Every structure is written in structure tokens, then in C-alpha cells.
Structure 1
């Protein structure tokens, strides 16, 4: 009996494109697009956008029905180009070894519908990574996550990247979170002798409050600030911040505050190229210096 070799990630992607879309993918990426032109006068920009929309200022003698037909044809061609570019880009992220399970056809159909109007190159890269990840491990990305991503603009993608740079995990709960403050249960002695709460301004480290609100709005962060529950004196902390392990012991009973990702946000985080923010890490340690003893 002949041995059947498993398909590689790229082979499975090309098979998916051919059987489901009728598209044959090349094995190499398209040539780099030409650099964007220098700034042009407003009237030229207006005419360029009008032409791209299929509603050119000059009607060229066409009837209204013909102009509408041309606009729909241009839109269809643009959407097909977007889809094919993303399928092509996905080849760069496909691993050699993937699951033997096929991608759910209903999932793939909705995926294709959602990417039709994605023209931004950076967003196309993100969608391509999702497809490659789903081919490698079907069921990895939920439809809810796809719809959250569809709502995301490039500006919000930058906000997610900034949030990811500040995210860490704990051994007790592996879900990513962004620590920003603490408070202690009020007592008369604390009121008279020392502070009972402290908050970090995350905008100093690239994540502004409007960005946080936008991530909440598209369903990537929970809408409410999360509290850890009171950690008693002697409680051990074990955090993973990027490649660093941070350990320490709680010195005084304290409640930590943080932002937590939703399930959709957590699914998208591994797709990002995370850059550690050492200034943020030092600021968190300094913030907690009155209530936590960190190990060097």
C-alpha cells in the first residue's frame, strides 16, 4: 500500500483556493507595488478617488445605467483583487506541517466575504496570518473574532499593537492583561499615614485612553476594568512579560487593577509582532513598590 504524504501548509492553501474559489495561486509573491506618488493637488486627488469609485466626474457620454454597471464591475474586480492578494500573502505564513483536518467550508466562505473590501496592505497581512493559522489548526479562529477584525480600522490595529506591547500573563491565569494600578482596602491607619491607591498613565507608554475605548468598542478588551481580588501579604507573583519572568511577593494586602482581553482579542494577539516596552515594565514595578517586593 502506497504511503500518502501529508500536504504542507502552502499545498493545502493552494488546494483550498483552487477548489473553493477557482483561483490558482502562484508559488511566489507578486512583485512589490510601486511607491506612492508625491502629494497632488486636491482636484487631482478628488478625480482619482472618483475614478476608483467608478463615479468619475467626466461621464464620457455613458448613460446612467452604463455608469452604474461600470461602477459595479470595478467594485467586483477590486474585491477579487483583494481576495487574491490575501490568499497569495497567506502562503508566506503557512507552516510545513498542518492538521489533517480540513478548514470548515462555512468558516472559509464567511472569511472570503469579510476580506473582499480589505485593501490596506497591513490589514491584508493580518487577514493572511489568520487564514494560515486556520489551515494549520482548524477552529483556531472563531467567526466572532473574524467579525471583530472586520470592524477594525488600521488605526485600531495600531492600538491593538500598542496594547500587546504592554501585555503580560501570570502563572495563575495565562490570559493576557495590562496592569495599570492598585488599591488597598481603606482603613483609618492608611488614611492617616499613606496612600491606598495608585494608577499608571498608560498614554506615557503609547496606549492612550481613546485607544483603549476603541478596543473596547470593537470587542477586543473587556468594557470594565478588572480587579484581581485581594491578594494577601505573602502571596507570590509570577508574571511573564514577553520573554522576561518577573517574580515577587506581596508585602501588604492589595487589589491589582488591569485591562483584560476578550476571547477575540486573545485570539488575535499571537498574530502580532510584539515589542517589549522596558519603560512600562519599570514603571509598573515602581508603581507597586509600596506593596510588592520584586525579585531582582
Structure 2
């Protein structure tokens, strides 16, 4: 029997780096992207720094350069920054690579597009997110679609923070593993409901860190579906089994004609969600249970 030699995640990443750069990845010595005190100066200092980074420095030392020379210098600086961004992401991915990975090689077309899309990613937090994607793809090729990569490319750091807030309020069901954010319920219209009680109740998610503006931004970039979703009418006695981060929430429908309302992640949103570090929001969980107390009997 022939023994199959398997590679670790880091070894596969080093192979990819050699094919792209011609050399191996050098692990980062210290966290990158942190601001120094000198970068917190007054407007004029920041202006000079940005000018220098753009290659169109306003410093007098470049007054003797021609317009063509300044353009060539700007292009060269841009290429160097892009190369630095790509190499930093590759180096960060070393930290996330698991020991054991699939024997299947990563799709070369996927990897080439990954490299092209990361060239202008300079924010350190976003670089970490891209590095986790590369490590995840090495571990399990096909885990992240090209559509998800292009969605992430459009995402700003502010939108990434919104996704983090949404992740902290997300749960799954046994029937559908795609994450969702529950925020309310309604009763199917009936004369009795109109005459005797409320037919709809919702939570203000802004109280728990997720504003409506953030929800709209996540919808706009394609991480949440574009409209609120209803569960369909749930019969009395139907069991609820929710996984809220690491907590199991068990309950039973105790009222007729109940419809739960939630925001649901798209396929791209569902692929990105596991990359985030999440913390349960106990206030949200308590408020959701209180909201549903008349229609769901929760187990202790």
C-alpha cells in the first residue's frame, strides 16, 4: 500500500505563497496596523502623511521632479503598498491555518481572484478577516464562494462592525442552520384579536447594539435578505429548538396563529458569520423571551 503524504495548513499556504511571490511567507513579528502617537497629530501633519502615501507629496523635497516622474513614483508606491497588503494577509493566514486540511488543492482561479481582491485592503482588522478566509479555504476548498469574496471586497470597516453587532444577536434552528435575528411576532388577523388584544409586537434592536441603519447597510451589501421574513403560522404545541451562539433555547408554541418575524442572512452572510468572534447579549435574550412570553413557553 502506498502511503499518502499529507500537508499541514501552513505548508499548503507556503506552497501558494511560493507560486504567487516566488518565496515563502514570513510570519508577522508583531501586530500590524496599530497607530503611533505621531499619526495622531494636527490636520497639517495628517495632510502631509496622506500626501506622501498617495505619492503626490507636498513636501519641498519633490519640487524638482517632473509631472511624469511624480506619476511614476506614485504608481511605484501604490504597487509596493499593494504587495505589502497581500503579503501581510498571507502571513496572518499562517496563524489561522489548522494542522489537518483537505487533501484537495485550492482552486487556482479562486486563489488568483483572492489575491487580486486583497491588494488594496490595508485596514488590519479587515486583513485579519481576509486571512481567516484564506485559511478556511485551504482547510476546506470550496468553503467560500467567489460571490462572498466580492461581497467582502465591498465591505467597509464600518459595515464589518455592523456585521459583528448582528452576529451577537444571531441564532439558528434545528430545521434551518442559516443564522437569523429574531425581533418580533404577529398573529394572523382575526376579529377576536382586533377586539381583544395586540396582534403584533417587535423589539427595538437598536437597544442591543444593532441600529436600523446598520441593518439597511447589511442588506445593501448583500449580507442580509432585503426584507423581513415570517416563519409561517406555527401550531400550538410545536417545539422550538434554537441555538443562540453557545446557548440552547428550548420552548413550545402556546398560542394559536403565531408567526415569528426575523432577518435572515444570505449565503454570503452565512459564510462570513463563523469568522467573527461572538458574545451572547443577555439583555437581548431576556428581552426576546419577555416579548414572546404570551405565545411561547420556554423551558428553564
Could you tell me the TM-score, scaled by structure 1's length? 0.97
**Equivalent-residue separation in structure 2 for 1:36 and 1:194 (angstroms):** 59
| Equivalences for residues 109-258 of structure 1 within 5 A | 109-252=112-255, 253-258=257-262
SS at match of 2:232: coil
- 244-253 or 63-72, which deviates more: 244-253
1:99 aligns with 2:98: no
Matched residue, 1:25: 25
Q: What does the per-residue CA deviation read over 1:202-254, in whole Å, with 9 as the maximum and x for residues that have no partner?
A: 00000000000000011000001100001111111111111111111111120
Give, in angstroms, the shift of residue 155 of structure 1.
0.6
**Equivalent-residue separation in structure 1 for 2:196 and 2:49 (angstroms):** 66
Structure 1: 4+ residue segments shifted above 2 A = 1-5, 28-35
Matched residue, 1:51: 52
Change over 3 Å in CA distance of 1:280–1:41 after alignment to 2? same
Q: What does the per-residue CA deviation read over 1:25-66, in whole Å, with 9 as the maximum and x for residues that have no partner?
A: 12x423344652253121111111001000011333000000
**Equivalent-residue separation in structure 1 for 2:161 and 2:49 (angstroms):** 27
Matched residue, 2:275: 271
**Equivalent-residue separation in structure 2 for 1:86 and 1:6 (angstroms):** 24
Give, in angstroms, the shift of residue 186 of structure 1.
1.7
**Equivalent-residue separation in structure 1 for 2:147 and 2:134 (angstroms):** 15
**Equivalent-residue separation in structure 2 for 1:226 and 1:189 (angstroms):** 25
**Equivalent-residue separation in structure 1 for 2:162 and 2:232 (angstroms):** 28
Give, in angstroms, the shift of residue 2 of structure 1.
6.8
Could you tell me the TM-score, scaled by structure 2's length? 0.95
**Equivalent-residue separation in structure 1 for 2:20 and 2:64 (angstroms):** 39
Give, in angstroms, the shift of residue 257 of structure 1.
0.4
SS at match of 1:246: strand
Q: Which runs of 5+ in 2 are unaligned?
A: none
Matched residue, 1:288: 292
Q: Which runs of 5+ in 1 are unaligned?
A: none
- 165-174 or 30-39, which deviates more: 30-39
Count matched residues. Answer: 295
**Equivalent-residue separation in structure 2 for 1:41 and 1:162 (angstroms):** 32
